[in-house]
Chain A
Amino acid sequence: MDSNQLINLNQRIQSLLIEALQIPAEQATSDLQFGDLPQWDSMGHMEVMIYLENEFGIEINPETISNLTSFSTIRQYLQDHGHV
């Protein structure tokens, strides 16, 4: 993945978190994780999962739900599965 692709992926994840959690852009940082903000609670997390499903066509299953609990794990998962 080149740097442009990485930047693009980061932007897509950031937009997704902003929309799913309804937070301002400055809070959707690359070190954000579940529990850091009141919005990213259990309900917020499921919103993130649904937005991920729609944006990237990921199949949501229990493993996905419990693993993708941070900006970085989401990015790693997407990279590993060829979503660039």
Chain B
Amino acid sequence: MFKFEDNYGLDITPRIKIPGHLVGEVQSKLAYVDEQIYKAEVDTLGEHIHLDFHQPLEQSELVTIEAKVQRVVEKMVQGTIKPKIVVLENHMDRVTPNNTDPTSELYSLGEIYQEADGIYSLGPMLSRLIDFFEQQFLSLAKFFNATPYRFPTLIPAKYLEQVNYFQAFPHSLTFVTHLREDLDVIDHFAEEASCKEDSLTTDMGSFDKIQTLLSPAVCYHLYFALAGKTLTNESLAATSVSNCFRYESINLDSLERMWNFTMREVIFVGSKDYVLENREIARQEMEPFFEQLGLAYRVETANDPFFIGEFRKQAAFQSAFQLKFEIRASLPFKKSTLAIGSYNYHQDFFGRNLNINLSDGSPVHTGCVAFGLERVAFAFLAQYGIDPNNWPSIVREYVN
């Protein structure tokens, strides 16, 4: 059921009411229903959906979009299992001095410069602030005697295929290609290449087959490096920091949700007990740091943003087995929270899929602790503001 709104917008009543715990998840997925959508909102009761379009649409197009929206809702909501949220830490009552969005000030100070949707350059203050947090995360890595690794920005398509990434997160992939090795094609490109409305006008036939993508995660690279091997020492702790890429369409939003962001991970490979024990130790190790920082946050069970078809099952599974705990920092200016990091356990998924074994022949279990560096800095500034005089002394002294 829908009604027109001058054909620039569309109001839809979902056939199935969207339960409260899925409102945000469904809303974020509506971005991928149609290219014409530039804004999608689901009311908090889950009974009403509003879409805004780039341009007025024909009635037949509206009917098609409405049908697709109903399909998304049905696939994500029908038979859904309400997750049981387990809270491991709750420090949301900490009082912090700022309650305004720091974004506009960061722009005016030249601390963030937007190159395109989801792509930002960061200035000196933000860079130093991120360095400060990096030092803390490196201390955590050192605590575990984690071996340093450097991983590429690119990742082969066949790697992601092996770990079912195409089924789980097709919407967030970023593809890489290059011109075909053909002198005519290259010459033609060099002479004619231009951009129209930010897009290259080049014919898609000039590009080679896609064999490579921009990497969406850090730890995958370690698992592929270990593929087919037996872990001789029975366990491995590793650490790395890398650029990661997750396309989020109209959900891209300043430093909160970037297409190109940086993650520091501490990765555990070994037995189930080894991984689970160290994931928990990592959480306990981080707690005093966040306390010293005075950060308002909580740690609770969560799920990854699986795409529509896989969402219901995968999210319920992750939640039931407590595979993911997110560190959710308060964003006082919008009375909500932002995931700045996570403590993850993958069971033996990568061990089985990539044939990484312990000496007894059983597949390894894996887990990682991940921190989104730009998000940590953003959440800190959202709570403390951009004036260093209001910051905790440990941060102020480092940045100055």
Contacts and interface: CB of A to CB of B under 8 A. Distances in A.
**Is this pair of chains taken from one and the same complex?**
yes
Interface string A5-36: 00000000000000000000000000000010
Interface residues of A, number: 18
B310 A61 contact: no
Interface string A28-65: 00000001001001110111011001000000111111
A42 B84 contact: no
Interface string B72-87: 0000000101111000
A36 to B, nearest CB: 11
B316 A65 contact: yes
The interface residues of chain A, by DSSP majority, are classed as helix
B314 A65 contact: no
Given A47-B313, A50-B79, A41 B349 contact: yes
Contacts of A53: 79
Interface string B305-330: 00000101110111111100000000
A21 to B, nearest CB: 13
A65 B84 CA distance: 11
Interface residues of B, number: 20
Contacts of A49: 316
Contacts, number: 48
A65 B352 contact: no
Nearest to B79: A50
B316 A38 contact: no
A7 B349 CA distance: 33
Given A38-B352, A41-B349, A66 B321 contact: yes
Interface of A: 35, 38, 41-43, 45-47, 49-50, 53, 60-66
* Shortest 4 CB-CB contacts between residues of A and residues of B: A65-B320, A46-B313, A62-B320, A62-B84
14 contacts: A41-B352, A42-B313, A42-B347, A43-B317, A45-B317, A46-B314, A46-B316, A49-B316, A60-B316, A61-B81, A62-B83, A65-B81, A65-B316, A66-B320
Interface of B: 79, 81-84, 310, 312-314, 316-322, 347-349, 352
